[in-house]
Amino acid sequence: MSRSLKAICEAIGVEYAGADRQIDGIATLAEAGPNDLSFFHNEKYRKDLPRTKAAAVLVEERFASELPDSSIALITDEPYLKLALATALFAHRMSTASEAPRLAGECEIDPSARFGKNVTIGAGTVIMAGTYVGDDCVIGENCLIHPNVTLYHGSRIGDRCILHSGCVIGSDGYGFAHTRDGRHVKFYQLGNAILGDDVEVGANTTVDRGALGDTVVGSGTKIDNQVQIGHNCRLGENCLIVSQTGLSGSTVLGRNVVMGGQSATAGHLQIGDFATLAARCAATKSLEGGKVYAGVPAMDIRLWRRQQAALMRLAKKKK
């Protein structure tokens, strides 16, 4: 889906009088190519400004000089809001159109399952009643899709995956820009959700699609029931995510991370390889791997135990 830069600027209310060019998509500063629109609104990513390959960047005037000569500066004092408006121009067009999926071999598919366009399914996969598979989805070999699973458009499922009833893969991430008068503008989610091989997803769990890049679940990861995986999260291989856990957007888990029941992370954090978060633990900052954490905010579990013991002693003294 390609649009002219001038047409985009007119649609989102940004002034631009330079030469026109075609824009094929929207991406982050670091990932944008020479035909992409990007944006800058967070100091955390300032280092990416001079290195971006984006065709054009929505940016405040005070940062425009840091862009390379190859990138057009689109000056605005609300770059994130303008980008949200632009995402609507590139959003997948939803449709009720349906066609038979392409099968790579013998599969067992319940007649009540429904498919969008351009769906591919690997040999040996079983799809049970009430499942919906959206446009451009790919499901690998020997998967088991239980009843009433929903795969939004563009989702990718590896080989030997098990998706339990009611789980939703590729739903929209929770993304909104805010106007100065308090209205919330939808940031259309343009990425996909990708599951590696041997992933199991529990009942009524949601794995949101990425906002611009993809949400990725590494091979061998097992996710329990009623878990929320936010947009742009990246889970390493062989993680264990226990029920009612919530990962905020852009959380990165290393390999073999264990998250106990009702644990959580704030957004844009990194949890190192082989870290364990105990039940109801909440990570408010990035955590080193190879350790066990507990409490709110998350701390080394040995410190947490001493803290709990000290509180108990204090409570007993007050009786």
Q: Confirm if 247 and 223 have CB atoms less than 8 A apart.
A: no
Cα distance between residue 306 and residue 319, in whole Å: 21
Number of Cβ atoms within 10 Å of the Cβ of 318: 5
Give the angle 10-188-131 at the CA atoms, nearest 5°. Answer: 145
- Residue 231 is among the residues annotated as catalytic for this protein: yes
Cα distance between residue 226 and residue 204, in whole Å: 5
3-class SS of residue 125 = coil
- Active-site residue, selected from the candidate residues 41, 153, 164, 231: 231
DSSP labels, 210-232 = PSSS-EEE-TT-EE-SS-EE-TT
Number of Cβ atoms within 10 Å of the Cβ of 9: 24
Cα distance between residue 31 and residue 54, in whole Å: 8
Identify which of 200, 95, 222 has the alpha carbon closest to the alpha carbon of residue 152. 95
Cα distance between residue 250 and residue 269, in whole Å: 7
Q: List strands edge to edge, sheet with 276-277.
A: 108-109, 126-127, 144-145, 162-163, 200-201, 222-223, 240-241, 258-259, 276-277, 292-294, 299-300
Give the angle 196-143-173 at the CA atoms, nearest 5°. Answer: 50
The residues assigned a catalytic role are: 231
